Amino acid sequence: MPQMNMIQALNSAMDVMLERDPSVIVMGEDVGYFGGVFRVTEGLQRKYGEHRVLDTPIAEGGIVGAALGRGVNGLRPVAEFQFSDYIYPAFDQIVSELARLRYRSAGAFWSPVTVRTPCGGGIRGGQTHSQSPEGIFTHVCGIKVVMPSNPYDAKGLLIASIEDDDPVIFFEPKRLYNGPFDGTPDKAAVAWKGDPRAEVPEGHYAVPIGKAQIVRSGAALTIVTYGTMVHVCEAAVRDTRLDAEIIDVRSMIPLDVDTLCSSVSRTGRCLIVHEATGFSGFGAELSATIQERCFWDLEAPIERVTGWDTPYPSAFEWDYFPGPARVAAALRRLMSPP
Amino acid sequence: MPQMNMIQALNSAMDVMLERDPSVIVMGEDVGYFGGVFRVTEGLQRKYGEHRVLDTPIAEGGIVGAALGRGVNGLRPVAEFQFSDYIYPAFDQIVSELARLRYRSAGAFWSPVTVRTPCGGGIRGGQTHSQSPEGIFTHVCGIKVVMPSNPYDAKGLLIASIEDDDPVIFFEPKRLYNGPFDGTPDKAAVAWKGDPRAEVPEGHYAVPIGKAQIVRSGAALTIVTYGTMVHVCEAAVRDTRLDAEIIDVRSMIPLDVDTLCSSVSRTGRCLIVHEATGFSGFGAELSATIQERCFWDLEAPIERVTGWDTPYPSAFEWDYFPGPARVAAALRRLMSPP
Amino acid sequence: MSTLIDGPQPPSAVGSAGARASRLHIPAVPARPGHRSDFGYLSLSAAGALPRPAIDARAADIGELAAGLVRVLDDDHRPVGPWHLPLEPSVLKTGLRHMLLTRAFDRRMQRTHRQGRISFYIQSTGEEAVSVAQAMALRPGDMLFPSYRNQGLFVARGVPLVDLMCQLLSNRGDMCKGRQLPVMYHSGPARIFSISGNLATQYPQAVGWAMAGAIKGEDHIAAAWIGEGSSAEADFHHGLLFASVYRAPVILNVVNNQWAISTFQGFAGGEQQSFAARGPGFGIPGIRVDGNDFLAVHAVTQWAAQRARANHGPTLLELVTYRAEAHSTSDDPSRYRPRDDYQHWPLGDPIERLKQHLILAGHWTESAHQALSAQLEAQVDSSWAEALAQGTPEQGCSLDRGLMFEDVFKDMPEHLRRQRDALAAERG
Amino acid sequence: MSTLIDGPQPPSAVGSAGARASRLHIPAVPARPGHRSDFGYLSLSAAGALPRPAIDARAADIGELAAGLVRVLDDDHRPVGPWHLPLEPSVLKTGLRHMLLTRAFDRRMQRTHRQGRISFYIQSTGEEAVSVAQAMALRPGDMLFPSYRNQGLFVARGVPLVDLMCQLLSNRGDMCKGRQLPVMYHSGPARIFSISGNLATQYPQAVGWAMAGAIKGEDHIAAAWIGEGSSAEADFHHGLLFASVYRAPVILNVVNNQWAISTFQGFAGGEQQSFAARGPGFGIPGIRVDGNDFLAVHAVTQWAAQRARANHGPTLLELVTYRAEAHSTSDDPSRYRPRDDYQHWPLGDPIERLKQHLILAGHWTESAHQALSAQLEAQVDSSWAEALAQGTPEQGCSLDRGLMFEDVFKDMPEHLRRQRDALAAERG
Ligand SMILES: Cc1ncc(C[n+]2csc(CCOP(=O)(O)OP(=O)(O)O)c2C)c(N)n1
Ligand SMILES: Cc1ncc(C[n+]2csc(CCOP(=O)(O)OP(=O)(O)O)c2C)c(N)n1
Ligand SMILES: [Mg+2]
Ligand SMILES: [Mg+2]
């Protein structure tokens, strides 16, 4: 089985789909000749031509608007936003158009656009290259929202997203592009190579949208998380030696409530972890839903560990980032509530 | 004491501030000569001139961008968005600029813009004239978010917002403009006249941002709500004859957690009600926070009654709208959990 | 900067009241209620005065078309000049019929609203030539991206009035299944895109659609319409930009009917320059055309369509017209403009002008016109009866409320199924 | 439309591979690595060839300025033509000094990045005349809204290099208190606005600032800069539109350095038309100027400033230049353009050209230039030492982490106080 890092896995997903389906096209800023600032589309224009792998003007709203129109006319556009901090200029086209088209036209028109965008911090990017805006999109009905945490899921979920007839916002935790970062920036960087989740088939396969994954089974408590934080939580569990169950949400819309709730009902304790700002973040929805379903089984309050409610400041990156120590402290609190 | 409906109260707030403070300006689509499509700015241009009460191009992003610049240059802009469904084209200027300016410049620059916008349904507006997008903005750090539920608060909060040196998104539940709508569309419309909350002083006063209000005291359970739903919840409480405490959140950022939690700790039961789509709505944050703080006092799961996770369909408005029956059912469930 | 750090400094005197007079320019408005509009602001060319360039002309070389006004019918209803491309009388009569039907439909639906049987309506009175002539100048395979004031496109493409009426009624025949505000139609078979409540979004969408056609090597083109007020939105810029960069086969239309609700077109940037003039700045030909002149509108649209189909790229058309009635049934224009404005509008009425032209040419008579009008009124009446048969407002909503949860996604996910069931339980 | 209802139809053959060839136009790129750029795409005017109109000229009457290229210095470094407004030699020498200092600063910070002492840097090499000449043509009370490649504005307005360096180091002297990526400076006292990571947002903000000045009756003007790539963003449109409608006293600059990271300017719409040409479409004069010609840049900026101050409204300037180095320290331009491109750039180097002009005029010598260069290098060195005294990267972050929670709001609300305390507890 070939080994791929997340960049290669994502590239492979688009390669496979461009090859299989002549209606698939890739577009975005610097994605063509150059292959993207994170090299995720490298080589695709050379292989499929500049009519199928297009450089675009720097106009995120226009990119989504044009992608929507192409989708209506029979193509399957995969649009890259260079950083998810730059998705906001496209907000109206995503919320009012992409998400609503099928509904408002009662199915007469729809557009299967996939929007790919790197998110999250830990790369010294400062407040406009580090954001995790997924929570905002989870409040928008009519789009699917996913975020993989490893190369295998990245490829499988991206293929599923491209094949999906609904629009999908596909977040790529950029700190994981090259390795399974566990939240300790001082340690030497670890590469994906050798990690079982980096064993990625060359060809076509899909990871279904809407299914969470139990990353580690455990009985003491449940950690619900996604993206980079999956690896941080693994580290925190190693550090605390608690028998935690770790669930990687993967798909925020639709959400696999059953997998989450059956775990929490079993363990009676739940910690929710994400990198984004806490207030009204996606963790709030996770907490509220789990509490509604599992209330009678809860032995301690559901807690959240998240980024602070501030922008992501470049000099205080590691004070902002919810690292393993912060997660571990919460785990301990959860096991012996005050 | 004069009686005002919500339109008059909002108008009076701007009138008072335009009069007192020469740096206050009002701007937006159709707000000038015409006085706004909901007549909220009526008469202001005549009184203060077309240099202080400006009609603008239909470009929400430009409106916020230009307002931000004016704020930096010493003015206090009050910008109207015709419907909160049309705030999305301005999303980047709000999130990346207005909310971040003070932070990223370490206080050297800031802009005290107030964005006013009517929200909510119940006026047969269909999916693009009925939205309640406040939840999205509550995930954005650096802005304040408020929503009044009556004329007195509307004027006092709007004055506080204009005087506030931070940007404020001010949501106006348009179904309440003319009367305290309780969620039963078939009943004859009730006007504000005669309602004690419609007694509004002519002059200057402020309702502080960041304080919730207990609208009805009670011991059996706590309802946390805001906007139009305050009145719907009052109706549901009347119908169920439960001794519910009803809290009007009023200010979402900052949130008056203490008032909410001391009530829930006392009653042990909590229902959260809003009109917006439920999934990742502001109710999720309310539920998560209250659960974290009040877990040991809870006698039943915190429930949410909200709009469904669909767009707001024009023909099914009253199936979508979380009316008193849906609230009452939840109240009963909460008092005797299954 | 301490003044900034200390907080906004109240200007010691602001605006007209102050000692230091404000230097901000505020666009002029021709007249407010109680006065009479001076339409002198409108730059007019004589009929026939402007040249008709080759379809591969460079935008920069035909700038006069963006500043002037392409007109074919002169004041005596005679067609003149290079933009007169004679059309079969039958075609013109079809155009007249579509325009008359559109107006009859509008008038009837407006009345229906006043009777409280539909909740909202938007008329296109005075602007019928825009939609009808343009639809007729395009091919059935071309894709149309309308605004809410282009009902003439639906009429000209033969969408049954009943279908539109059922949408207005949100009844069993509603193509939108009760989800859209009245007038937000669409038609899959007629290739007319779904109308959005958010202004101007269709502009880059149409460009994208056209780009896809080009990628696939097809020769269908796309056309989009927005109001002059909406041209202020970002998506106007996105549309022009993407069309320019990829030379997309698309026609971008700005319908300048002088008003955006209460806001005069000067506030959309029409005071300093025409809207057509935005095109040449992107290398896109801009053509300003008399939007009430059926022949002129048809001719420029045909020119733009040929240009696009021959792979010479996009065209920006500004259709100069006047919104004769209220913005919508929620609006009362007498609050912000002279009541009799339309009587003084220098470009007349599109139906009247085409009618007179046909009569002058000997293809039409006053009595044929009366007969046709009566026939179309009857058609509207019978369509209305047919539409009501699929559910009247008095019967309440005739659509299954479960439809609310469909089409959010292609397949209904678990959480929506649960919500649908909860609603069903609630309603018994 | 059943094809739509049935799902996207895979085109039977797409793109160059297919039988039906794609008709989509893709903008041309002058050369990719391994080839040599043909700069023939660049429309050039001879120095002195374009007229200098009165400051109240109408945009439509001076369209040639948007298509041509205003140049003052000819190939022999002699100033010619109507745009030559003689400046005191001392002024030119100050300009030369600012440009040299900017370049020395850039070079040194680039090296510092390579040594791992700062995390990110952006050079402005080859574009120094833009910022320096423009800052010098404006008044201290005018407000500047820069992009991330306008460090010359800070230099020309006398912001100490130490302040900029402390920002790059995020140390105790950082004006941004550790919150912004390196190079995202600002200066309250020097009236230079905070740089945003989100492109083009400063355009409507500058217009708003200028509108406020006009409302208050002041005669300070605003100026904003964006790259040609960023002119694709919606806020470019918003800026032009609002400036046009209210005739705001603002100068809107597009710095066309040919590249936006790896994307050639054709993809921003520069193939069909100049960027200056967007202006006339809004009634705003557009002037395309040789951005490497200090005298030309100064002259057009002065013209635009006088125009704005005299209440004749905004101007759009396109400054034609070339990004000589990488986009940023994260970029490697040899992956997408010829390595030696800059050597062939037809408009030369701005510093070299001003230097030769001064020598030719007898105000400068090669040895004075060497001495000045050495002096400025030393100034950069000593500034760097001074900056490091306020915290070196090796010492770790010298700022209090509690600062993270300040300035989110003017007063810290309860929830942020709680979070600040939690972090303090976590870190002991
Ligand atoms: C994004 C957005 N902003 C505001 C509105 C509210 N609105 C609806 S129609 C309209 C006026 C549009 O005028 P114009 O584009 O000239 O079209 P016309 O009505 O004249 O045909 C406005 C402001 C909206 N629908 N969408
Ligand atoms: C809204 C937004 N989209 C994308 C980016 C990423 N980005 C940063 S710089 C840049 C290129 C800008 O090029 P140009 O405007 O020509 O300026 P230059 O770098 O040439 O000075 C891009 C795409 C961003 N910062 N903001
Ligand atoms: Mg209009
Ligand atoms: Mg550039």
Q: Is A82 in the pocket of ligand 2 (CB under 6 A)?
A: yes
Residues of A annotated as part of the active site? 129
Q: How far is CA B124 from the centre of its chain?
A: 19
Q: Structural domain boundaries of chain B?
A: 3-199, 213-335
Q: What are the φ and ψ backbone dihedral angles of D98, each rounded to 5 degrees?
A: -60, -40
Measuring CA to CA, which residue among C164, D304, B244, D237 is closest to residue A57? D237
DSSP string, A273-300: EEEEESTTSHHHHHHHHHHHHHGGG-SS
CA of D275 to the centre of ligand 4 (A): 12
Q: Do B85 and A91 touch (CB under 8 A)?
A: no
How far apart CA A187 and CA A232 sit, in angstroms, is: 13
pLDDT reported for residue D21? 73
Q: Structural domain boundaries of chain C?
A: 39-395, 404-428
The angle that helices A60-72 and C234-245 make with each other, rounded to 10 degrees, is 70
List, for residues D298-309, the tens digit of each pLDDT value.
999 999 999 999
How far apart CA A319 and CA C238 sit, in angstroms, is: 39
Measuring CA to CA, which residue among A11, A80, A81 is closest to residue A41? A11
Q: If you average pLDDT over residues B127-138, what whole number do you get?
A: 96
Ligand 2 pocket test, pick from A80, A82, A117 with the greatest ligand atom count within 8 Å of Cβ, gives: A82
From the options 1.10.10.10, 3.40.50.970, 3.40.50.80, 3.40.366.10, give the CATH code of B3-199. 3.40.50.970
**What are the Cα distances from residue D36, in Å, to B331, D265, D326?**
75, 17, 18
Percent residues over pLDDT 90 in chain C = 93
Can you say whether the dihedral through the CA atoms of C266, C272, C278, C282 is positive or negative? negative
CB burial of residue C201 (10 Å; 0-12, 13-18, 19+): buried
Q: Do D208 and B101 touch (CB under 8 A)?
A: no
Question: In A, which residues are within 8 Å of C188 by CB distance?
Answer: 105, 108-109
Q: H/E element holding B77?
A: strand B76-80
Q: Is D199 in the pocket of ligand 2 (CB under 6 A)?
A: yes
Q: Is D191 in the pocket of ligand 2 (CB under 6 A)?
A: no
Tell me the three state secondary structure of residue C422. Answer: helix
CA of D199 to the centre of ligand 2 (A): 6
pLDDT score of C48 more than 80: yes
**What are the Cα distances from residue D214, in Å, to D220, D247, D350?**
8, 9, 34
Nearest CA to ligand 1 atom 15: C227
pLDDT score of A170 more than 60: yes
Answer left, alpha or beta for residue A279, where phi above 0 means left and psi between -120 and 50 means alpha: beta
Nearest CA to ligand 2 atom 12: D260
Contact between B116 and B170 under an 8 Å Cβ cutoff? The reply is: yes
Specify the ligand 2 atom closest to the Cα of D233. 1
Q: If you average pLDDT over residues B291-303, what whole number do you get?
A: 98
Query: Tokens 């400062």, residue?
Result: A126
The interface predicted TM-score of the complex, written ipTM, equals 0.97
The H-assigned helical ranges of B172-311 are 228-240, 257-267, 282-294
From the options 3.30.1330.80, 3.40.30.10, 3.40.50.970, 3.30.230.10, give the CATH code of D39-395. 3.40.50.970
How far apart CA A156 and CA C206 sit, in angstroms, is: 32
Per DSSP, C222 falls in state E
Q: Do A30 and D261 touch (CB under 8 A)?
A: yes
Closest Cα of chain B to A308: distance in Å? 10
Ligand 1 neighbours (beta carbon < 6 A): B 29, 58, 60, 82, 86, 89; C 149, 197-199, 226-230, 257, 259-261, 323, 327
Q: Do C208 and A69 touch (CB under 8 A)?
A: yes
pLDDT score of D5 more than 90: no
Q: Are strands A213-216 and A244-248 parallel, antiparallel or unpaired?
A: antiparallel
Q: Is D323 in the pocket of ligand 2 (CB under 6 A)?
A: yes
Confidence of residue D14 (pLDDT cuts 50, 70, 90): very low
CA of D193 to the centre of ligand 2 (A): 18
Choose the weakest-confidence range: B103-112, C3-12, D383-392.
C3-12
**What are the Cα distances from residue A315, in Å, to A235, C10, D116?**
24, 36, 15
pLDDT score of B16 more than 80: yes
Q: Are strands D222-227 and A244-248 parallel, antiparallel or unpaired?
A: unpaired
**What are the Cα distances from residue A336, in Å, to A269, A288, A333, C294?**
11, 22, 5, 80
Q: If you average pLDDT over residues C299-328, what whole number do you get?
A: 98
End-to-end C-alpha distance for chain A, whole angstroms: 48
Residue in B124, B126, B308 nearest the CB of C404: B308
How far apart CA A120 and CA A174 sit, in angstroms, is: 6
pLDDT score of C425 more than 90: yes
Contact between B265 and A281 under an 8 Å Cβ cutoff? The reply is: no
Specify the ligand 1 atom closest to the Cα of C200. 1
Q: Which residue of A has its CA nearest to C405?
A: A103
Confidence of residue A26 (pLDDT cuts 50, 70, 90): very high
The count of residues in chain A is 338
pLDDT score of D6 more than 50: no
For domain B213-335, the CATH architecture is 3-Layer(aba) Sandwich (3.40)
Q: How far is CA D51 from the centre of its chain?
A: 26
Q: H/E element holding A258?
A: helix A257-267
pLDDT reported for residue A337? 78
Q: Please state the pTM of the whole predicted model.
A: 0.97
DSSP string, B27-39: EETT-SSS--TTS
Confidence of residue D10 (pLDDT cuts 50, 70, 90): very low
Neighbours of chain B (3+ CB pairs under 8 A): A, C, D
Q: Do D214 and C63 touch (CB under 8 A)?
A: no
How far apart CA D428 and CA B248 sit, in angstroms, is: 38
Nearest CA to ligand 1 atom 8: C199
Measuring CA to CA, which residue among C407, C402, C396, C399 is closest to residue C418? C402
Per the prediction, chain C carries an average pLDDT of 94
Q: How far is CA C335 from the centre of its chain?
A: 23
How far apart CA D342 and CA D325 sit, in angstroms, is: 9
Confidence of residue C14 (pLDDT cuts 50, 70, 90): very low
pLDDT reported for residue C379? 98
Ligand 2 pocket test, pick from D120, D131, D199 with the greatest ligand atom count within 8 Å of Cβ, gives: D199
Ligand sitting nearest the alpha carbon of D331: 2
Measuring CA to CA, which residue among B184, B265, B232 is closest to residue B331? B232
List, for residues D320-341, the tens digit of each pLDDT value.
999 999 999 999 999 999 999 9
Q: Do D9 and A74 touch (CB under 8 A)?
A: yes
Residue in A51, A89, A109 nearest the CB of D24: A51
Q: Is B129 a catalytic residue?
A: yes
Contact between D190 and D154 under an 8 Å Cβ cutoff? The reply is: yes
Percent residues over pLDDT 90 in chain B = 98
Closest Cα of chain D to B293: distance in Å? 13
pLDDT reported for residue D20? 58
Q: If you average pLDDT over residues A263-274, what whole number do you get?
A: 98
CB burial of residue C76 (10 Å; 0-12, 13-18, 19+): exposed
pLDDT reported for residue C20? 59
Per the prediction, chain D carries an average pLDDT of 94
Q: Is D231 in the pocket of ligand 2 (CB under 6 A)?
A: no
List, for residues D169-210, the tens digit of each pLDDT value.
999 999 999 999 999 999 999 999 999 999 999 999 999 999
Contact between C236 and C275 under an 8 Å Cβ cutoff? The reply is: no
pLDDT reported for residue C11? 43
Q: If you average pLDDT over residues A277-291, what whole number do you get?
A: 98
Contact between B259 and B214 under an 8 Å Cβ cutoff? The reply is: yes
Q: Is D260 in the pocket of ligand 2 (CB under 6 A)?
A: yes
Contact between C45 and C68 under an 8 Å Cβ cutoff? The reply is: yes
Confidence of residue B1 (pLDDT cuts 50, 70, 90): confident
The H-assigned helical ranges of C170-293 are 202-215, 234-245
Q: If you average pLDDT over residues B20-41, what whole number do you get?
A: 98
CA of C199 to the centre of ligand 1 (A): 6
pLDDT score of D261 more than 60: yes
Q: Do A106 and C179 touch (CB under 8 A)?
A: yes
Tell me the three state secondary structure of residue D360. Answer: helix
Per DSSP, C60 falls in state G
How far apart CA D122 and CA C358 sit, in angstroms, is: 67
